[in-house]
Amino acid sequence: MKLNPKYLLPIFLFALAACNNKKEMNNSTNNKELIFPKGEKITNNNFTGDAYLQMLIAADSINLTTVGNVTFEPGARTKWHSHPGGQILLVIDGVGYYQEQGQPKRILRKGDPIKCPPNVSHWHGASPDTAFVQVAVTNNEKGTVIWLEEVTDAVYNSLNQ
């Protein structure tokens, strides 16, 4: 069986995260050895709290898939959003949350893979006390991210919202 080359990077990144046996991050990523650089602080209004982005692979005319390392400081999170072509999240470190509209919030830990279905509203980010690092593999062939409303504190802090 021949493996399609477009699947090699996500498989490699997941294996790298799963094999990394370092302790989970404490309150910040400042004193932590990271797999990928932390990147630049995200300054748009699509996030609550401090988050950082290091683009690993940019879209181009041949391949519209992007790969980015996103670091969320404790309590930071995205707005609700969706991806027309779907997205895959690979948890690299820390403790975070992922929630699809109408579904329970999930706790994420190092090594967890998440498949965000196309056109399904969701959000993700760090837990209140622990930073969270993810690699986001986003298929932009059907369009780019659609940003929606902020995740309220009530939703973020709920056990099952």
The per-residue pLDDT for range 120-154, each reduced to its tens digit, is: 999 999 999 999 999 999 999 999 999 999 999 99
**Percent of the chain, pLDDT > 70?**
79
Residue 26 has pLDDT above 80, yes or no: no
Whether the model clears a pTM of 0.85, i.e. scores above it, the answer is no
Average pLDDT over residues 7-18: 51
Residue showing tokens 């006390």: 129
For residue 17, what pLDDT is reported? 47
Residue 42 has pLDDT above 70, yes or no: yes
Which stretches does DSSP call E strand in the chain? Answer: 40-41, 47-48, 51-57, 66-72, 77-78, 81-82, 87-100, 106-109, 113-116, 122-126, 132-138, 146-147
For residue 143, what pLDDT is reported? 94
For residue 121, what pLDDT is reported? 98
Residue 53 has pLDDT above 80, yes or no: yes
Residue 8 has pLDDT above 80, yes or no: no
Mean pLDDT, the chain, integer: 86
For residue 159, what pLDDT is reported? 80
Q: Which of 15-24, 49-58, 73-82, 145-154 comes out lowest in average pLDDT?
A: 15-24
Domains of the chain, with CATH numbers? 5-157 (2.60.120.10)
CA distance 96 to 93: 9
